[in-house]
A = this chain, B = another copy of it.
Amino acid sequence: MTAPVRVLLADDEHLIRGALAALLGLEDDLVVVAEAASGPEALAMARAHRPDVAVLDLQMPGADGVKVATSLRTELPACRTMIVTGHGRPGHLKRALAAGVRGFVPKTVSAQRLAEIIRTVHAGNRYVDPELAADAISAGDSPLTAREAEVLELAVDGAPIAEIAERASLSPGTVRNYLSSAASKLGAENRHTAARLARERGWV
């Protein structure tokens, strides 16, 4: 028998993390060597314990799963990373894959399924949830230019144009132009729906 797969678990929801650790620990060939409740903590634990596979929640305080994966890629190239997420937005998957993440699964899978996927990832293969993959493909690439996306991001909380212009160090007129262009590309009637759409698709 080969050595067990050393797993790092990072999730800010203690309930899930603890339960998951217990369940995965039941598998003979998996061993949870570290747990973390935040992005920075996950990095620290990874440095200390050098796991084979890091299972990261997408939404964590400090740094999200993709950011952690990016850091791990350079710091611990031998460590495979995978993302577990509650509500997967298409753009996240794309960002994750770009960050070298090898597995991307929703929290609706079972623990057994997760264990299988951990093995798959550890073996050097990739796994992406079919449904999330389909969403990502149908969402396609962002049609927005860099500034359009930047300005749109400042518009997500409903701020007036004057405030957006100030925060972006741009002329109010320029901001209106970018927002108008972005809304048009997204088929939205105004910047607020445009911002919501872009966020849903992971483009901001």
Contacts and interface: CB of A to CB of B under 8 A. Distances in A.
A15 B107 contact: yes
A176 interface: no
Contacts of A190: 158, 160
B18 A158 contact: no
A68 B196 CA distance: 29
Interface in A115-172: 157-160
A89 to B, nearest CB: 15
- Interface size class on chain A is 20 to 34
A98 interface: no
A84 interface: yes
How many subunits of this chain does the assembly comprise? 2
Interface in A1-21: 12-16, 18-20
Contacts of A14: 107-110
A44 interface: no
A26 to B, nearest CB: 8
Contacts of A195: 158
A12 to B, nearest CB: 7
A192 interface: yes
A13 B110 contact: no
Q: Which 6 A-B pairs have the closest CB atoms?
A: A158-B192, A19-B19, A158-B193, A13-B107, A15-B107, A19-B23
